[in-house]
Amino acid sequence: MAETSAQTPAATAPVVILNAPQLAENIGAVARVMANFGLSELRLVNPRDGWPQERAWASASGADWPLNAAKVFQSVSEAIADLRLVYATTARPRELQLPILTPRRAAADLRQATADGLRTGLLFGGERAGLETADVALCQAVVTIPIDPRFRSLNLAQAVAINGYEWWTFALDAPPPAFRDGAPPADSATLLGFYEHLERELDAAGFFHPPEKTPSMVQNLRSALGRARFTDQEVRTFRGVVTALSRGRGKVLEKLAKKKAGEEAAK
Amino acid sequence: MAETSAQTPAATAPVVILNAPQLAENIGAVARVMANFGLSELRLVNPRDGWPQERAWASASGADWPLNAAKVFQSVSEAIADLRLVYATTARPRELQLPILTPRRAAADLRQATADGLRTGLLFGGERAGLETADVALCQAVVTIPIDPRFRSLNLAQAVAINGYEWWTFALDAPPPAFRDGAPPADSATLLGFYEHLERELDAAGFFHPPEKTPSMVQNLRSALGRARFTDQEVRTFRGVVTALSRGRGKVLEKLAKKKAGEEAAK
């Protein structure tokens, strides 16, 4: 990790993920500010008008490389699957119990994670819809740009610019040594696999009632567990916990029931 | 909106002066970020395509008031005549012996000057030509946005946004937002009660094997969960999760076993 990050800052800079971006011009403007602030990896989740689009290149003023290499995904969870620290930029208050950070504090965290060799990302919502709470729940914190409450309509590229600026400015300071000397946090795909395992078992156990509350219950479980930043080993351990709880007790009762059945049959 | 913004912070916020702006869309985008960051007074020096221009309003996304009140001047010197501290934003090195400041340092100075009752301004060059050295020389310092030297082409509105953001952030001058603005983390007794509940169920499910490893397995579970800093509500939720997993699935199997037992007994 140290070797690659020594080559160019961009190699380990946060990935910029745009969820459902609408205007190609804005995607191009995002690429331009990414280039201004040392970011290079762009991922697009369901761009409204498809991809690629010429108008994006036209508005990037020569910052073509993030656009040329941009990857398209079908869902936020796929787009962040390989990332180990993802912050969602949103101004809307959420029901989630996630830390709310300024761009400056977020940049410090992202620098630290990068110094620790972790792949990171910044997730932004589309121009109109922003982010679904279910997608925010997959992230480890929310970044909220301090803004005049009398006029909150911030352009997408401006939101990327402010975060990119803080990331780049922070570069001037060398981060202190790694804060965690053990294993890194699991990537998002691993976490999602664990969440889905837990939720399947909870569903089988009749935990989600009333049914219409399932999405918000799921989001609350995910965001609360996400804060722990489990390692791969810990995810395996907690998958074992879920399995043990859902199957183990079952087996105990199964045995008891069999024993009883045997006794009754013997009568 | 306009009434309040005339009274409070905006009344003494720095004036934004655009020298020879070319595209009306960029003037509108500047108005929009001004509104985002509590700036309201806009001055235009020789806008290329004249003034007013409808396209500026169209691209301001409702931030009309800086455009409605914008004043046009024939020269930078006229545009800054009544201001007592003016900083020029430019990335080009100059022959001038002026301090070169970051946007953060500039914001601190502008705040101080404002607190001292001085009218201040931020001067920006047009998209192509930037600023004449003669105009920079009328200013008290140069503001240079830290930027990746590999791609220096910063959009005009982005330059205003970064400076506005620093101005606005400095205004708050408050400690960073609380880690969590909802409920506080649960106390240790509550957490311990949850841990013990989980561990009882895991023990009943035969999770801890070999038995001599139980203490270290327990410690690993506890420390991983502890990092999430669950609230009281979340502890209740996760106790429900444990109960649901250990009883719910058990019940399903219990019913199956009973059914089987009934069938066998009926044979």
CB atoms within 10 A of CB A177: 9
Which of B116, B142, B173 is at the close of a domain?
Answer: B173
Q: Does A240 touch chain B (CB under 8 A)?
A: yes
Which of A112, A138, A173 is at the close of a domain?
Answer: A173
Q: Are B61 and B123 in the same domain?
A: yes
Q: Does B128 touch chain A (CB under 8 A)?
A: no
**Do residue B204 and residue A161 have CB atoms under 8 angstroms apart?**
no
Q: What's the burial of A214, exposed, middle or buried (CB within 10 Å: 0-12/13-18/19+)?
A: middle
Residues 6 or more apart whose CB falls under 8 angstroms from that of A94 comprise A133, A136, A142
* Number of separate domains in chain A: 2
The answer to whether residue B2 is domain-embedded is no
* pLDDT at residue number A171: 67
| Half-sphere CA count of A253, side-chain side, radius 13 A | 20
* pLDDT at residue number A251: 61
Q: Are A164 and A86 in the same domain?
A: yes
* pLDDT at residue number B171: 65
Q: Does B208 touch chain A (CB under 8 A)?
A: no
The answer to whether residue B5 is domain-embedded is no
Q: Are A219 and A152 in the same domain?
A: no
**Do residue B35 and residue A97 have CB atoms under 8 angstroms apart?**
no
Q: How far apart are CA A39 and CA A164, in angstroms?
A: 7
For chain A, residues with pLDDT lower than 50 are 1-11, 174-180
Residues of chain B contacting A99 with CB distance shorter than 8 Å: 179-180
Asked whether the beta carbons of A141 and A109 are under 8 A apart, the reply is: yes
What is the pTM for the complete model shown?
0.78
Q: ipTM for the complex?
A: 0.75
Q: Are A111 and A153 in the same domain?
A: yes
* pLDDT at residue number A178: 44
* pLDDT at residue number B235: 93
Q: Are A15 and A142 in the same domain?
A: yes
CA nearest A224: which of B117, B233, B25, B63?
A: B233
Measured between CA atoms, how close is A83 to chain B, in angstroms? 19
Sheet holding B120-124, edge to edge: B71-73, B42-45, B15-19, B120-124, B85-89, B141-143, B100-101
Tokens 């787009």 belong to residue: A79
**Closest CA in chain A for residue B2:** A150
CATH number of the domain residue A63 falls in = 3.40.1280.10
Q: Does A74 touch chain B (CB under 8 A)?
A: no
Radius of gyration of chain A (CA): 22
Q: Are A102 and A227 in the same domain?
A: no
Q: Are A108 and A147 in the same domain?
A: yes
Supply the range of the domain harboring residue A205.
188-266
Secondary structure class of A39 (helix, strand, coil): coil
Q: Are B169 and B208 in the same domain?
A: no
Q: How far apart are CA B4 and CA B16, in angstroms?
A: 19
Residue B123, beta-bridge partner list: B17, B88
Q: Does A205 touch chain B (CB under 8 A)?
A: yes
CA nearest B117: which of B12, B7, B5, B9?
A: B12
Q: Are B228 and B154 in the same domain?
A: no
Give the DSSP letter string of A85-144: EEEEE--S--SS---EE-HHHHHHHHHHHHHTT--EEEEE-BTTTB--HHHHTTSSEEE-
* pLDDT at residue number B8: 41
Q: Are A246 and A134 in the same domain?
A: no
For chain B, residues with pLDDT lower than 50 are 1-11, 174-180
Q: Are B168 and B76 in the same domain?
A: yes
